[in-house]
Amino acid sequence: MAKKQKRTSRTKKKKNDNILRNILIVLTIVASFIVLFLGGYYFGYHKGKNDMKKKVEKKEKERVKAIDKLEKVLKENQPHHIQQHSTQKKDKKYDITAAHEIEDKKALQPLPRKQHPKHQKKVPKLAIIFDDVSFAYQVKEIKKLHLKVTMSFFPPTSIHPHTPQLAAKQPFYMIHLPMEAMHFNKEEAFTLHVNDSQAVIDKRIKKIKELFPRVRYINNHTGSKFTANKQAVERLITVLDKNGIQFIDSRTTSKTKVKEIMQEHHHHYMARDVFLDHKGDLLSIKKQIVLAVKIAKKYGAAIAIGHPHPNTIKALQQSKNLLKGVKLVYVYQLY
């Protein structure tokens, strides 16, 4: 009887040992799978992250090379004289309305603000900026107005390579810097994008300052995506500060972050109040001129943006009586 009980006890013990061994084997296998899974995830994640970083760096190098290439082309093809007239047919795409600049209708609403102390009890000032200035014939038509207006020139590209020479002949000028838009798909060459690094932006602005040594103000061409991105605007304003250049917000989107960043940098926020020609017909442009004058009288100063289109030029020619209530000034004379 005792031997039988002893045998039974050994059998149970052996059975329990087998169960424990099997459990340990299962746990070992599960643990191995977990380790392999976590290891694969870890290395896969970091490999993907490194690959993405390399792609971004590669893209940045390509953009820097592209800017270098443009500089070389412009230098090699620098003309000894500037063509004084361009055909309307060739430059037809520059005679469209300015509607493509604006991302949302809310951006068209006048900018609410308080009167600046500098403008109290003084003649109201109005600064009119002509954006998209690219060709000699446009400069000639603007100058025929005999009005104190500010021309904002595109940086040079192969399409309009002579803008530095045209700007150099003006008493004052601005640069109309192309920036990434939400939906506009016909962007200028070397448009600033939201993902451009500090180094890329710095290189671009330095080159602009070389080409336009008297530049003191820059405003954005399109740029609804760029100016709505706080990090991108921060990078740009930091670079502009280093180069002694002020930024005027064209307000192509109501989601602009420029005001917020300018306040953080302790700068006065300068922005467009009125677009003159987002509708291209003569009557609409005249109505916008009236609105710009009204805002200038209310706040002591205002900024209006137009483009060198035939109807814009014509509307201003026919509105000189309307402008008598304000003093036309260059933008640097506003504040």
At residue 6 the predicted structure's pLDDT band, cuts being 50, 70 and 90, is low
Q: Which residue has the higher pLDDT, 183 or 266?
A: 266
In the prediction, which pLDDT does 66 show?
A: 56
For residue 224, the cross-strand partners are none
Structure confidence at residue 78 (pLDDT): 43
pLDDT digits (tens, 9 = 90+) for 164-202: 999 999 999 999 999 999 988 788 998 999 999 999 999
Cα–Cα separations (whole angstroms), residue 299 to 46, 116, 119, 218, 326:
55, 7, 8, 23, 12
C-alpha 59/C-alpha 54 separation (Å) is: 9
Residue carrying structure tokens 């690219």: 134
**Per-residue pLDDT, 10:** 61
CA distance 156 to 174: 13
pLDDT reading at 128 higher than 90: yes
For residues 84 and 257, the model is more confident at 257
Q: pTM for the whole thing?
A: 0.75
Given a cut of 60, whether residue 280 has pLDDT beyond it is yes
Two structure tokens written together for 316: 């201003």
Q: What tens digit of pLDDT does each residue of 86-127 get? A: 434 344 444 455 666 777 778 888 777 777 777 777 899 999
pLDDT band at 146, cuts 50/70/90? very high
Looking at every residue in the chain, the average pLDDT score rounds to 85
